[in-house]
Amino acid sequence: MSVKPIFFALDGPNLNEFEFMLKKLEGHIFGVKVGLEMFISEGPKVVEKLKKDGWTVFLDLKLHDIPNTVRKATKSANNLGADFLTIHIASGKDALQEAYSSKNDSLKILGVSQALTSSTMDAKMSKGVSEDFLLAKQCSVDGVICPPSEIERTKNLYDLIVTPGIRLNNDTKDDQKNTTTPENAILAGAKYIVMGRSIINNLDFVMNELDI
């Protein structure tokens, strides 16, 4: 069985509501994403439970704070066993360097730019994303959360590109403006993609028919 390069976004307050899907997805996808809502609702134990169940965990907290706080938060993520952790590049050079220097070898730091997938990309925003990613690279950040429209110009800078805003052809975009399909994201250069509602609404298709 091939494992698809997908992080399943656990976007909700309660891990129990995803248990059925997690059991079906086991062995089919690369990992799961724990966002701020679930982390606050369930607490750090949610990461520990998912790790105990054998999942690769992407902790999407988008740290944005002073360097000392970022350093301590990164060490806490290490202790929980998280495999990936996000930080806002706008936190600045010192905070980015603290995150990198405080992590263990198994934790990857992912930089988050000023552009979200709920934003419309224009030339000014695209230029800002490129500048953000260059700063992250200079600070030894392992990879980036990259909007679909920016994958092509980012792949020469980073191998570790994680892309949200993924929709299947028959999906609605909902609150997302910068979107692409799983196939196009991987073809453009994303290493991993993040999918939430598209998995929930198309579980069997994603497991058995999605060819990425």
Q: Is the pLDDT of residue 90 over 60?
A: yes
Q: How far apart are CA 57 and CA 74, in angstroms?
A: 14
CA dihedral over 120, 123, 128, 133, signed as positive or negative: positive
**Least trusted range by pLDDT, from 26-35, 123-132, 163-172:** 163-172
Cβ density class 134-149: b for 16+ within 10 Å, e for less: ebbbebebbbbbbbbb
| Residue 61 reports pLDDT greater than 90 | yes
pLDDT at 157 over 60: yes
User: Would you list the domain boundaries of the chain?
Assistant: 4-208
Query: Can you give the pLDDT at residue 119?
Result: 65
**pLDDT given for residue 43 in this prediction:** 95
Give burial (CB, 10 Å; 0-12/13-18/19+) of 190. Answer: buried
Q: What would the mean pLDDT of 162-176 be, rounded to a whole number? A: 79
Which CATH number is correct for 4-208, 3.30.1180.20, 3.40.50.1860, 3.20.20.70, 3.30.930.10?
3.20.20.70
Q: Is 137 helix (H, G, I), strand (E, B) or coil?
A: helix
Write down the pLDDT at residue 116.
66
Higher model confidence: residue 207 or residue 63?
A: 63
Judge whether residue 1 has pLDDT over 70. no
Opening angle at CA 117, ends 210 and 45, nearest 5: 75
Q: Which of 27-41, 121-135, 197-211 is modeled with the greatest confidence?
A: 27-41
Residues in the chain: 212
So what's the pLDDT on residue 125? 87
| CA–CA separation, 5 and 70 (whole Å) | 28
Active site residues: 62
pLDDT value at residue 172: 66
The stretch 141-167 carries a mean pLDDT of 95
- Average pLDDT value for residue range 90-118: 91
Asked whether the predicted pLDDT for residue 120 surpasses 60, the reply is: yes
Q: What is the mean pLDDT of residues 37-64?
A: 97
Mean per-residue pLDDT for 191-203?
94
- Residue 118's pLDDT is 62
> Where does the pLDDT of residue 176 fall: very low under 50, low under 70, confident under 90, or very high at 90 and above?
low
Question: Is the predicted pLDDT of residue 80 greater than 60, yes or no?
Answer: yes
Q: Is the pLDDT of residue 95 over 60?
A: yes
